[in-house]
Structure 1
Amino acid sequence: MRMVPARGRPPYDAGVLAYVPAAFFLVLLVVGVLRDRRRFGNAVLFGLFCVGLAFGLLHAAVVGVGGGHHALEWAVAGILLLPLLGALVLPVFLLSNGVKMIRKEGRRPANLLSFLAGLALVGLLALALAAVATRSPELVIVAGTALLLAGYVSFLFFCFLAYALLYGWLRPRRDVDFVVVLGCGLVGGSRVPPLLAGRLERARRLYAAQAARGRPPVLVVSGGQGPDEKVPEAHAMAVWLVEHGVPAEHVLREARSRTTTENLLFSRAVMEAARPGYRCLVVTSNYHAFRAALTARRTGVNGQVVGARTAAYFWPSATIREFVAVFFEHKLVNLTVCVTIVFLGAGAWWRR
């Protein structure tokens, strides 16, 4: 006996089809992660999967598929309210965090990022409200162009942030030959600061856990000597590890690097010389882990990256800084899209 859909409700298959884009991007994401989880393309696929899933839920609400399911209704309400809440709450959060960063860390440009991002969101919201209030064609075009640019950048930032959290959750399970610790500057020219101590403690715990299984890895501390430092970072890091119980013979020093790229390139050379065909883990701060993973892939390091915890107030500005760096690492694509949006806005202005 053939089942006939209820009047006013489309067949169940119509609701299922709404989730096809999400399923498609999920399959691509799984394949990408299995091939190499250290790819920014995986982040974009994860973002597209989330967008596809949101579309499916909204479609289900509109056509009535799954009606009566309160969990679905709450999910849809959350999807609809999220942009509004973000527009109202996020600027306040970023501004307050920016003030806290300035008080605790000083007024260096890198510490101003969350405050500047909050100001930019306030300005964008004011521009949109002014365009709606005045109904000025010119202002509508400017606001629309600005919103499109902000939407593109916001989507990429969401992809970066969401996948960075997912990447941090995907823990490597196999034993490794080396654990590389990335340096980040010394206090007073010779002392390990709390941020670097967090990385070293994470590496020490990884060492202890694997040593308990009978196969201790070698720790590679990576960091050169800055112009305001009395000793190379690697030397201070090695001393810290030995003082905290790691045998000196299980610590190697890479004391030439000045950047993350050099950290990984020079550390790779150390590991390849000591054990061809090595496997490693790289330890850095949690906000830096995904970008370090992208750099590790680019520099040919055979290993994943894990993050050490940092102070909560430090995380927003640091994450924005990491995103900006990744954005400009893919500047050809990103600037092409942004310039195209601006030209579209200019064309609309010219035709008005």
Structure 2
Amino acid sequence: MMLELFVVFGIIPIILALLQLRHDRRSFFGGITLMFGIGVLLFLVILGILNQIAGISEIAVQTTLIFTLGGVIGLPIVIGVALILNSQVMKQKEGRSLTAQLSLLFGFNFIIIAGLSLAVLFRGAVWNQWLVGTMFLFLMVDVTLTGVFIGYLFYSLLYQLIPIKQHVDYIITLGAGVRSDKLTPLLKSRVDKGLEYYRKQGDSGMMVPSGGQGPDEPVSEAYAMGKYLTESQHVDPKHIILEDESTNTMQNMLFSKKKIEQDWHGDRAPKVIFSTNNYHVLRSAIYAKRAGLQADGVGAPTSFYFLPSALLREFIALMMMYKWFLITVVGFWIVITGLMFLV
């Protein structure tokens, strides 16, 4: 009966998530709910395997439990060490920026999770309840948000695996910093990804380079992208609409939408996509939704060493967008901790 209950607990979130994502696959919580349901079902599969092993021999069960416990404690340590090593590569290539330090912080975070797990599981009988409760609270908030991050990571990948097959009328390219009128490798990869879709449909559709001029930039990002498209890629200037006022992703979407509405004269809604780097696609899609722009994103590849910090930065930005969710998670575990340790 308990197993059937857990199966239902996994299937219901998947059904609800699929219904939500069918309506709009840009839903952050729809994606997280889908990953949660899949995670529960995977856990049940592992539980079923352990149950089968239990029928073979007691030694097999004990061995499996040891390996399972070793994985629960050891895997975070391995991931943590890998992220700390990655942070050294980031420091060499990107300097001491905050983004470069995120993988270092997250690496230590995994090691802290492993340490707190051991402390809570094997605490001494004389340990103060307030101390244990505080460790448990920190651990569960940390584990919950780490789980949400992992769900976000997998759904972000899944979102980009869904192909865009229909003809596209407008291809927005989100800007990134420039140091001259030449594109940086990161920005060039974004433009090339959009150009890939432009070429696929026979050099038709409109390219919309989007990005203003920052205080430390000699030209607008849109101008640099437009120059690259016309001079290096021989795109017809009539197929380019520059949006050169935006200073952030939300403005990219709002101002590009305005440009598209001014240009479009069809008797249906235009088909729009945007191109950016793969780590930035899902959050940008959420901004497009908030801007009222019906557009899905495509992602250009990013250097592997850069991905952990970039994805962490994106996730932190998402949590700032959904502060109420963060407050709910902390509040929930405060209540549970109080009931378990302090009542």
Give TM-score, length-normalised by structure 2. 0.87
Say if 2:18 and 2:34, in contact at 8 Å, map to a contact too. no
Corresponding residue of 2:274:
282
2:306 maps to amino acid: F
Supply the distance in 2 between the matched residues of 1:329 and 1:341 (Cα, whole angstroms). Answer: 21
Corresponding residue of 2:329:
337
Pick aligned residue for 1:195 from 171, 175, 186: 186
Per the alignment, in what secondary structure is the counterpart of residue 23 of structure 1?
helix
1:34-92: CA deviation from partner (whole Å, max 9, x where unpaired): 10000012122112212321243144235549x89xxxx9xx99987653443121101
> C-alpha displacement at 1:128, in angstroms?
4.2
Per the alignment, in what secondary structure is the counterpart of residue 181 of structure 1?
strand
Corresponding residue of 2:207:
219
Percentage of identical aligned residues: 30
Corresponding residue of 1:148:
140
Pick aligned residue for 2:294 from 279, 292, 302: 302
Supply the distance in 1 between the matched residues of 2:339 and 2:234 (Cα, whole angstroms). Answer: 66
Supply the distance in 2 between the matched residues of 1:14 and 1:344 (Cα, whole angstroms). Answer: 22
> C-alpha displacement at 1:110, in angstroms?
1.9
Query: How many residues are aligned here?
Result: 330
1:281-311: CA deviation from partner (whole Å, max 9, x where unpaired): 1000000001111111111111101100010
Per the alignment, in what secondary structure is the counterpart of residue 254 of structure 1?
coil
1:139 maps to amino acid: L
Per the alignment, in what secondary structure is the counterpart of residue 214 of structure 2?
coil
Structure 2 segments unaligned to the other structure (5+ residues): none
Is 1:209 the counterpart of 2:200 in the alignment?
Answer: yes
Describe the shift of the 1:82–1:288 C-alpha distance in structure 2 as closer, same or farther (beyond 3 A).
Answer: farther
Corresponding residue of 2:217:
229
> C-alpha displacement at 1:251, in angstroms?
1.0
Supply the distance in 2 between the matched residues of 1:220 and 1:280 (Cα, whole angstroms). Answer: 10
1:145-192: CA deviation from partner (whole Å, max 9, x where unpaired): 1111112111211221111011011122111100000001102x4321
Describe the shift of the 1:79–1:236 C-alpha distance in structure 2 as closer, same or farther (beyond 3 A).
Answer: farther
Matches within 5 A, 1:48-87: 48-61=36-49, 63-64=51-52, 83-87=72-76
> C-alpha displacement at 1:233, in angstroms?
0.6
Is 1:88 the counterpart of 2:77 in the alignment?
Answer: yes
Is 1:27 the counterpart of 2:19 in the alignment?
Answer: no
Per the alignment, in what secondary structure is the counterpart of residue 171 of structure 1?
coil
Describe the shift of the 1:348–1:107 C-alpha distance in structure 2 as closer, same or farther (beyond 3 A).
Answer: same
Is 1:113 the counterpart of 2:102 in the alignment?
Answer: yes
Matches within 5 A, 1:257-272: 257-272=246-261
Pick aligned residue for 2:31 from 43, 54, 60: 43
Supply the distance in 1 between the matched residues of 2:226 and 2:311 (Cα, whole angstroms). Answer: 28
Describe the shift of the 1:62–1:89 C-alpha distance in structure 2 as closer, same or farther (beyond 3 A).
Answer: closer
Corresponding residue of 2:312:
320
Per the alignment, in what secondary structure is the counterpart of residue 258 of structure 1?
coil
Is 1:273 the counterpart of 2:262 in the alignment?
Answer: yes
Describe the shift of the 1:278–1:81 C-alpha distance in structure 2 as closer, same or farther (beyond 3 A).
Answer: farther
2:181 maps to amino acid: S
Say if 1:190 and 1:229, in contact at 8 Å, map to a contact too. no
Pick aligned residue for 1:163 from 134, 139, 155: 155
1:119 maps to amino acid: F
1:89-146: CA deviation from partner (whole Å, max 9, x where unpaired): 1101110111111110011112211111112232343344455365523432222111
> C-alpha displacement at 1:248, in angstroms?
1.6
Per the alignment, in what secondary structure is the counterpart of residue 269 of structure 1?
helix
Matches within 5 A, 1:91-106: 91-106=80-95
> C-alpha displacement at 1:336, in angstroms?
2.8
Give TM-score, length-normalised by structure 1. 0.85
2:311 maps to amino acid: T
Describe the shift of the 1:130–1:85 C-alpha distance in structure 2 as closer, same or farther (beyond 3 A).
Answer: closer
Describe the shift of the 1:150–1:259 C-alpha distance in structure 2 as closer, same or farther (beyond 3 A).
Answer: same
Supply the distance in 2 between the matched residues of 1:16 and 1:343 (Cα, whole angstroms). Answer: 28
Say if 2:170 and 2:206, in contact at 8 Å, map to a contact too. yes
Say if 2:212 and 2:243, in contact at 8 Å, map to a contact too. yes
Describe the shift of the 1:239–1:81 C-alpha distance in structure 2 as closer, same or farther (beyond 3 A).
Answer: farther
Describe the shift of the 1:93–1:54 C-alpha distance in structure 2 as closer, same or farther (beyond 3 A).
Answer: same
